[in-house]
Amino acid sequence: MFDYGIDFWSKGDFIIEDGKVKLGANPKIAIIDIVNKARESGYKGPLLIRFPHLIQKQIDKLFNSFHSSIKQYKYKGKFRAVFPLKVNQFPNFILPLVEASMDKDYGLEAGSKAELIIAMAYTNIKSPITVNGFKDKEMIQLGFIASNMGHNITLTIEGLNELETIIEVAKDMNPPYPNIGLRIRLHSMGSGIWAKSGGINSKFGLTSNELLEAINLLKDSNLISQFTMIHFHIGSQISDISPLKKALREAGNIYAELRKMGCENLSIVNIGGGLAVEYTQHAGHNNKNYTLAEFSADVVFGLKEIAKNKKEKEPDIFIESGRFIAASHAVLIAPVLELFSQEYDEDSLRLKEKNPMLIEELLDLYKNINERYAIEYLHDSLDHMESLLTLFELGYIDLQDRSNSEVLVHLIIKKVIDTLKHKNHNEILRIQEQIQERYLLNCSFFQSMPDYWGLGQNFPVMPLNKLNIRPTRSASLWDITCDSDGEISFNKNMPLFLHDVDIKQEEYFLGFFLVGAYQEVLGMKHNLFTHPTEFSVIFDDEEDCGYIIENLLEAQNILDVLDDLDYDTKDIERRLKQRIDEAQDLNDESKKEVLGQLYIMLSENGYLRTIRKNP
């Protein structure tokens, strides 16, 4: 695997050229150049790089696809969309998104009071706002305030009690009132690991009986004219399109039935989110079985058919896709700190005048490896290693012998791989499983890819350069948390190969792609590693490098992290200072020096500062 499956997951957003990962856009900036520039400015830890042009690209794709399906089927309803804030609420994502969608019917979706405040402040005033999730009276009042401001807002009712509260609030508030949407509980289910939002047992939505009751309540309170939308959401990352089609038929028929019952202003079917992102790097492991074009065509065609059969007008189509819009815009860069086998070089051998026989044999194997016998020698050496470990346990060889056998076996592994690297990859793959290299990364998977930890979600990963050199080491990845779950282990069905680099001589970086959806706000401060230093890359013709860096946000320093946990940081500083003052073994000069060093550390973030040791 030379190209790390880039054609499966990147869709031209990123390309490989001259052995480097570059932006697929013009200018084709190499990511490694951006990283090196940031590191020259002192940012040595992990980096989260945002590419706002990719937000624009996804919004355009979504609208273009639906507009073209609408044209193709001569569909009479309109297309509108909102971005669900829960997918990424950070201002460095949301502000560019709002700007990129000025010319479109594109708004924001909120699921909590705080998200609604973001939507009320930033949504372009004519663009839609939808509010989903459980709501109390206060949140409903907030919705009324938003409509008073002039926002085009729809409150989606998840249960009858919410509708009763709306009716109550409407009595106290002046028009214009918000629009009302009803979330329907579907019989159909989503598929994939996130499919908990749809279905008859779902957490959200009204049953048919409750729908009828809701219509009566709306009519009795003269609010039926505000009822404009029905809504469903069958779950995130829909892998198979058929449940969506089923859900559409169900929702389409409910739409038509409700119109026939006198819901004259009902004109929108909101199909929620769920449009999947292709994360796979490996053929045959696709995350979805449809394209965007197929998705939009199925939605438009499905609703058109129902409207025709039921002789109702074709509804406006409303979508709340989040993952699809946000995933590609952010890339996590993790510096490799160490290859665990690197300490095993020839210099670390401490051979004796007279070595145990098995060690002499290992030495012999190592010297004589050739292409023909490479695999056989490798197996022999692994056997010898087993025997030597047993001998150590029984007390027949000493620690120096044991160290020599470990070093020799690693040297043999490396030499075998090097000897066979031009050969059929399958053969190497067979031995690779036993002899992986462990790469230690300066990042926290818990902070930057929580869905890997929580859901087993894989994100595409690849080195930023050396892509014209065949990678030979089967890799397992370790983050710097001291939690054994902070590991992405080698999977022979979806193998990851990386380069054998000497980190003392050169730097090596891995990029994790498609991390822009959900990961940031779900990320946790396990071991107190915080959000990495982040910035946005904005194209600029006037710069020689073709871009400028904006919205730089440094990783939190240690004291701020402790402050977030509600420690009294002044107290921490006072205690540390007092302990140094009282230290018996230090003179005044040293006390000052130690205190100075400590203050510098408190003002820095907790990630490791990789220092390249030149030989």
Q: List interacting residues with ligand PLP (CB under 6 A).
A: 84, 86-87, 132, 233, 236-237, 272-275, 320-324
Q: At its nearest, how many Å lie between ligand PLP and the CB of residue 86?
A: 6
Within 13 A of 523's CA, how many CA atoms are on the CB side? 24
Q: Which is nearer to ligand PLP, 132 or 444 (CB)?
A: 132
Q: Which is nearer to ligand PLP, 2 or 134 (CB)?
A: 134
Q: At its nearest, how many Å lie between ligand PLP and the CB of residue 265?
A: 22
Name the 3-class secondary structure at 318: strand
Q: Which is nearer to ligand PLP, 87 or 100 (CB)?
A: 87
Q: At its nearest, how many Å lie between ligand PLP and the CB of residue 570?
A: 40
Q: Which is nearer to ligand PLP, 87 or 431 (CB)?
A: 87
Cα angle for residues 54, 58, 59 (degrees, 5° grid): 115
Contact, 351 vs 404, CB < 8 A? yes
Q: Which residue is nearest to ligand PLP (CB)?
A: 273
Q: Which is nearer to ligand PLP, 295 or 377 (CB)?
A: 295
Q: Which is nearer to ligand PLP, 460 or 486 (CB)?
A: 460
Count of H helices and E strands in the chain? 21, 20
Q: Which is nearer to ligand PLP, 278 or 437 (CB)?
A: 278
Q: At its nearest, how many Å lie between ligand PLP and the CB of residue 320?
A: 4
CA atoms of 8 and 10, how far apart (whole Å)? 6
Compute φ and ψ for 441, nearest 5 degrees. Answer: -110, 140
Cα angle for residues 217, 223, 228 (degrees, 5° grid): 105
Q: Which is nearer to ligand PLP, 108 or 501 (CB)?
A: 108
Q: Which is nearer to ligand PLP, 173 or 522 (CB)?
A: 522
- H-type alpha helices, 76-185: 91-100, 113-122, 137-149, 160-172
Q: At its nearest, how many Å lie between ligand PLP and the CB of residue 135?
A: 13
Q: Which is nearer to ligand PLP, 236 or 458 (CB)?
A: 236
Q: At its nearest, how many Å lie between ligand PLP and the CB of residue 25?
A: 24
Sign, CA dihedral 380-386-388-394, equals negative
367's CB contacts (< 8 A; 6+ apart) are: none
Name the 3-class secondary structure at 251: helix
Q: At its nearest, how many Å lie between ligand PLP and the CB of residue 235?
A: 7
Q: At its nearest, how many Å lie between ligand PLP and the CB of residue 276?
A: 8
What is the distance in angstroms between the CA of the first residue and the CA of the last residue of the chain?
32
Q: At its nearest, how many Å lie between ligand PLP and the CB of residue 202?
A: 11
HEC string of 453-489?
HHHCCCCCEEECCCCCCCCCEEEEEECCCCCCCCEEC
Q: At its nearest, how many Å lie between ligand PLP and the CB of residue 455?
A: 13
CA atoms of 341 and 269, how far apart (whole Å)? 57
Q: How many residues does the chain have?
A: 615
Structure tokens at 140: 């409903």
Compute φ and ψ for 79, nearest 5 degrees. Answer: -115, 130
Contact, 400 vs 351, CB < 8 A? no
